[in-house]
Amino acid sequence: MLWKTLEQWQRRAGLGQSPRTILDELGRIQSTDVVLPTVDGGANLRLRCVVRPDRAQAALLDRLGLDLPQRLRIRPALATAAQM
């Protein structure tokens, strides 16, 4: 059912009928963690950022009507587990 939904969404956006191509292209968009030490040295400040898409990815996102967030929130349980 997911594939059919993606295919219909892609068709409505005028992008053909190959969801695999869309997923492969969008799968190349990366996120990265920027980790900065605090002044007291007791903790780190962690920001998860989304890398800007290239031109082809940006055009694809625009046609699909999607916006990427500038930053992603890290769930507290994951943040504490990552520090251990």
Give how far the C-alpha of residue 42 lies from the chain's centroid of Cα atoms, to the nearest Å. Answer: 30
Please give the Cα distance from 51 to 55 (Å, whole number). Answer: 13
User: What pLDDT was estimated at residue 73?
Assistant: 65
CA dihedral 67, 73, 78, 79 (to 10 degrees): 140
Please give the Cα distance from 53 to 81 (Å, whole number). Answer: 29
- pTM passes above 0.85: no
Would you place residue 3 in the very low, low, confident or very high pLDDT band (cuts 50, 70, 90)?
A: confident
Task: Give the model confidence (pLDDT) of 37-64 as tens digits.
Answer: 888 877 888 888 888 889 989 999 999 8
Instruction: Choose between 65 and 75: higher pLDDT.
Output: 65
Task: Take residue 5 and report the two structure tokens written for it.
Answer: 């939904």
Helix (H, G, I), strand (E, B) or coil at 77: helix
Q: Provide the greatest CA pair distance for the chain.
A: 54
- For residue 72, the tally of other CB atoms under 10 A from its CB is 13
User: What pLDDT was estimated at residue 55?
Assistant: 92
